[in-house]
Structure 1
Amino acid sequence: MTIIKLDAIDSTNDYLKQLSKKNKLENFTTVIANEQTNGRGQMGSSWVSDAGKNIIMSILVSDLKYSSSSIFDWNVIVSLAVAKALEEANVPNISIKWPNDIMADSKKVGGILIENSLKQDESFDSIIGIGINVNQENFNDLPKATSLKNKTNKTYNVTEISEKIALNIQAYYLLKDDMLPIFWQNYHQKLFRKGIPTTFEDQKGNRFMGIIQSITRDGKLQLILENDTVAKYSLKEIQMLF
């Protein structure tokens, strides 16, 4: 595994994307930065990080087999690999908020942004951007965010956890064909607020109650609504309020 360490970069995903266009990179090439000036999250949200205190990394995974369902299978595998690394660092109560935010208790400690590019041979390459709040302590403008240090009162080795995440993703990749049903089972077990009445908001600002039942194979959130009907929502259709 090749690891490229940078002091500061606008976006590790963009850097790795451009590097892979210019060079034939080893699979699982990983970029780790101390500081990122233009970090992105799901649906274009920004992510701000204190320099040197958090995990800012991207990993290239090449030649994944494509099918209509395999795209979200990959989300499941990556989310579990990241969660496992934090559990191995003895961070308690780690869960995954659909589709791939990482939670500690009821606060967000990290997020994953996966950018896939389909190829003509029905495979795809994936660049996995991962941001984890590790030793940052100030979240005054982000009341729903926290860090590993704030949760445990411990200071962590950022590089060590970054490398563990990369190794876990590589290991889970090698197991994916044999372990996929178990990965999905584990994903559902770690799903944030599964089975708990929760408030949601749709694109029009309408709020309603629902209970997370499961995630469908193509990545949709399946809710039981107040009238006992079942509805499915894609990422852009709904957001969880908590």
Structure 2
Amino acid sequence: MPIIKVNAIDSTNSYLRRLSVEKNMEDYTTIVAEYQTNGRGQMGTVWESEESKNLTFSVFKDVSAVYIEHPFYISIVTSLSILKALQSFNIPKLSVKWPNDILSANKKICGVLIENVIKQNNLYASIIGVGLNVNQTGFYNLPQASSLKAVTGQVFNLEEVLNSILFYLKSYFLELESGNLSVLKEEYETYLFRKNKPSTFKDAKGVVFSGFIKAISVSGNLQVLLEDNIIKEYDLKDISLLY
């Protein structure tokens, strides 16, 4: 499992994707950056991180030998891997804000960006990008952001945290490759942020409404219980959780 460390690059996902086009990649090849000049998050957002204080890395995962009807299971596996690794460092009150933000209490400590590589109309590989706030404590104009140090008061060894995440990533991908889809989905759902709590959402048209997060569908859509006991499914681009 090659781990390639670089100083400053635009984005570990972009860098690893370019590498995967140029040559055959070994499974779990990981690019770790001291600093990203153009880190990317979900839905075109920017991921900002102080140099040398956090983990910004991307992992190449070959999924060509696995039939994955619903690619969201890659997101499930990634989220659970990060959660389990952070639990091993005693990070409290962990949850997943759908689809794959990792929270401690109600503060975001980790973001994930998964980009799938398609070859001949089949899912060939995934580039799994992770931005984890570790030892940074100041977050300018980001009131909902936090870090492992801010939560615990401890300084963490970045390499130890990375190795733990990669260990669990391998373990959970073995579960996926073994076909244990329902087990993975159920475990993911137990960590859903605000599950079964009254929550406020905004849809793509800007309409604000209330509901209860119940579960996810097999395709990864969020299932929300609305008035009159109606459960409706939402795609990522269709809904955002306000509080």
TM-score (norm 1): 0.96
Instruction: Say how many residue pairs are matched.
Output: 241
User: For residue 186 of structure 1, what is the aligned residue in structure 2?
Assistant: 187
**Structure 1 residues 106-136: Cα deviation after superposition (integer angstroms, max 9, x where no partner):** 1100111000012227342100000001111
User: For residue 139 of structure 1, what is the aligned residue in structure 2?
Assistant: 139
Cα separation, 1, equivalents of 2:124 and 2:198: 37
- Tell whether 2:214 aligns with 1:208: no
Q: Secondary structure at the match of 2:27?
A: coil
**Structure 1 residues 213-238: Cα deviation after superposition (integer angstroms, max 9, x where no partner):** 11000011100012321111100001
User: For residue 93 of structure 2, what is the aligned residue in structure 1?
Assistant: 93
**Structure 1 residues 21-71: Cα deviation after superposition (integer angstroms, max 9, x where no partner):** 1111211000111111101110000010000111100000013434432x0
Paired-residue identity, % = 44
Q: Secondary structure at the match of 1:227?
A: helix
The farther-off stretch of 148-157 and 168-177 is 168-177
- Tell whether 2:217 aligns with 1:219: no
Cα separation, 2, equivalents of 1:20 and 1:118: 12
8 Å contact 2:116–2:123 — kept in the other structure? no
Cα separation, 2, equivalents of 1:63 and 1:140: 38
Cα separation, 1, equivalents of 2:69 and 2:182: 16
User: For residue 50 of structure 1, what is the aligned residue in structure 2?
Assistant: 50
Gaps of 5+ in 1: none
1:104–1:227 distance in 2 versus 1, CA, 3 Å: same
**Structure 1 residues 143-202: Cα deviation after superposition (integer angstroms, max 9, x where no partner):** 111111111111101121112112211221122224332211110001111000100001
Which portions of structure 1, spanning 4 or more consecutive aligned residues, are displaced by more than 4 angstroms? none
Gaps of 5+ in 2: none
User: For residue 79 of structure 2, what is the aligned residue in structure 1?
Assistant: 79
- Tell whether 2:110 aligns with 1:110: yes
Q: CA RMSD in A?
A: 1.3
8 Å contact 1:30–1:166 — kept in the other structure? no
TM-score (norm 2): 0.95
Cα separation, 2, equivalents of 1:123 and 1:48: 30
